[in-house]
Structure 1
Amino acid sequence: MAQRSAHQVINTYSSSFGLATALLSPAIKSDIRNLYAMVRIADEIVDGSARQAGVRDEDIATLLDNYERAVIAAPASRFHVDPVLHAYAGTARRCGIRTDDVRAFFRSMRTDLSHNEHSDNSLDDYIYGSAEVIGVMCVDIFLAGRQVTPDLREQMDIGARSLGAAFQKINFLRDYAEDTQELGRVYFPACAVEGLTDGTKKQIVADIRDDLTRARTAIPLLPLGARMGVLAATKLFENLTDKVDSRSAAALHRRRIRISAPHKMWITAQAIGEALWMSLFG
């Protein structure tokens, strides 16, 4: 029941990641979805659901603090009344998810409660905690029960951090209208004065493409059970980057950019073919 509850979270919130995780091996798929469920709930605390439920702004920070303590303590207990925490705790124990990485993630979530704009340094710190360490946790899951050299692990971590950073930046662009108009947040420092312009968008997209290129170099290093799913997620976000790149900045001010369901299925099928080719021919 706990596993199914955690899996339902990803199916509800992200069809793209839901498709990508379907291509993972069964054990990896289950643990990735358990991790996603915990992360998603923390994100919902700071991104409006708590306020919509009537929680006062001054109490949201307390909610987040309490949830962080529960998540950090979860692996030490074999039973939880919260099914998502129960599922996550098993994953954290099996895969060796590190407390420091969890704390870094919650630091970034806490930033959303107090910072509406970022400097270059604070944005780097935010992306590290909100996305890059999630990539590192995913590598923990991919390698559970496996031994790799420190050099190989470092290469995988670099790729995972780059992919997480790319995902976060493209989501900032596609969610620009909601973030600025509903949440009052401006993540990119270059947008703080004039808003998102075509020139700024071009620079950000180029940065995202660099991250994706760096991430792709690590995909062949991943275990076979993880490779196809990671490649599918990468290709989905590459396509999303292309769509954002083809739109004007003014269009991003108005609405969120999406990929249609049939197109997602086509991209996923392409990822399966590319992953098989990669496995056969390197």
Structure 2
Amino acid sequence: MRASAVVIRSYSTSFGAATRLLGARHRGHVRNIYALVRVADELVDGVTDGAGLSRGEQADALDRLEAEVMRAVGSGYSSDLIVHAFAQTARAAGIAAALITPFFASMRADLPATDDGAPAVRGFTAEQHGAYVYGSAEVIGLMCLHVFTRDRSLDALERHRLERGARSLGAAFQNINFLRDLADDTDRLGRNYLGTRDRLTDADRVEWVRRIEAELADARAVLPLLPKDARAAVRCALNLFACLSNRIARTSIDELYARRVRVPDWQKSQIIARSIARTAVETR
């Protein structure tokens, strides 16, 4: 679990800050989920390619990681520290293959198509985008929800509302990241997750921001249903990404292809403080 904490600190300032607001009973579990996600994501985002592995060898590495995760979830042990930590969380929170398998399917979709040279930009249809976002982001929201509610008995309506909110939040985070990372995804990785053309237009950006705003609204509506020791962290993450989305809405598509939009540290601090204060005054 300490190894997982190192991973999250190294990769994400915003998400790392938000997880520090979680209650102690949730914090380590969410870090364990995130650490495994980062390891798998790095595998398909160029580290294995940089190490000289062929496309087939990269696929084998991802297959081995998935198989080790499934073995560890079943047995409760792995010699891989990050996999072992994730397995402890999965067993404690009831995270099963129904959520793990789609995640690895989305990671597999990111493997290079060929071994020869830089690929052309690969577009995603609406159906492919939906499947990819479900596996790469929505199931992560559902995994975290399993952690937050592992000691609660939910009725069918409450579970449905919470699961919809968790999926919407995961989708919003992913779609914001797609817009923020347009330059890197296009130039280095040869991917356009947000359409089938090589390049998006400003009209596309406006439409995606509108969709993201609806996803964030869905997620915000169920915040009161979360346990209070998870609410401040989720609210903080939601508000940080909402601020990022607002900045993207004011940035031209040409600028997005040229630079990565970020939230200044002073504004992050304000958002964190307000999220804590808002949660503190809630009565339940």
Partner residue in 2 for 1:124 = 130
Matched, 1:187 2:193: yes
Q: Name stretches of at least 5 consecutive residues in structure 2 with no aligned partner.
A: 114-121
Offset, 1:146: 1.6
- Match of residue 229, structure 1, among 230, 233, 242: 233
Matched, 1:211 2:215: yes
Q: Which amino acid aligns with 1:49?
A: V
Matched residues in 1 for 2:77 and 2:60: separation? 24
Matched residues in 2 for 1:197 and 1:138: separation? 34
Alignment check: 8 A CA contact 2:76 2:91 kept? no
Note the alpha carbon deviations across 1:212-237, whole angstroms, 9 max, x for none.
Answer: 00110111100111111000000000
Q: Helix, strand or coil: the match of 1:188?
A: coil
Matched residues in 2 for 1:179 and 1:223: separation? 36
Q: Name stretches of at least 5 consecutive residues in structure 1 with no aligned partner.
A: none
CA RMSD of aligned residues (A): 1.3
Offset, 1:98: 1.5
TM normalised by structure 2 equals 0.94
Q: Helix, strand or coil: the match of 2:52?
A: coil
Partner residue in 2 for 1:150 = 156
Matched, 1:40 2:38: yes
Q: Which amino acid aligns with 1:222?
A: L
Matched, 1:139 2:137: no
Q: Which amino acid aligns with 2:195?
A: P
Matched, 1:53 2:56: no
Alignment check: 8 A CA contact 2:168 2:216 kept? yes
Q: Which amino acid aligns with 1:223?
A: P
Partner residue in 2 for 1:199 = 203
Matched residues in 2 for 1:167 and 1:53: separation? 29
Q: Which amino acid aligns with 2:108?
A: R
Q: Which amino acid aligns with 1:37?
A: A
Offset, 1:77: 2.5
Q: Helix, strand or coil: the match of 1:79?
A: coil
Offset, 1:270: 1.1
- Match of residue 109, structure 1, among 107, 116, 120: 107
Matched, 1:260 2:264: yes
Number of aligned positions between the proteins: 276
Q: Helix, strand or coil: the match of 1:47?
A: helix
Quick one: percent identity of the two aligned structures? 41
TM normalised by structure 1 equals 0.95
